Amino acid sequence: MVHRPTRSAGVFLLAQISIIAGTGYGLSHIPISAETLLWLILTSVVWIGLLAVYVLTGAVDRVVTLLDDLSKKSIGTPQEKGADR
């Protein structure tokens, strides 16, 4: 896995939710059919789900990297352990 530095995931999600809510508010003044409304809701739910998966994938990748670093520091190589004694 390639570690990419994560910016503020919370701000990213908040911005995406604001865009969806703003679009919903804008569309609330336009008469649309129930079918179109259901498609918009489905699209919003899928988009939020994909964003959540993206953020969680980044978080898990970061945790795995940190645990890998910790395990390398605690175990070390035999030469490093001999040098400490």
- Summarised one tens digit per residue, pLDDT across range 7-27 is 677 777 788 888 878 887 887
**Reported pTM:** 0.55
Residue pair 47/16 in contact (Cβ under 8 Å)? The answer is yes
What string of H, E and C letters represents the secondary structure of the chain? CCCCCCCCHHHHHHHHHHHHHHHHHHHCCCCCCHHHHHHHHHHHHHHHHHHHHHHHHHHHHHHHHHHHHHHHHHHCCHHHHHHHC
pLDDT in tens, 52-77: 888 888 888 888 999 988 888 877 65
Is 45 within the bounds of a domain?
yes
Structural domain boundaries, residue 42: 33-73
* Total domain count, the chain: 1
Is 67 within the bounds of a domain?
yes
pLDDT at 27: 75
Taking the C-alpha atoms of residue 17 and residue 13, their distance in angstroms, rounded to an integer, is: 6
- By residue count, the chain amounts to 85
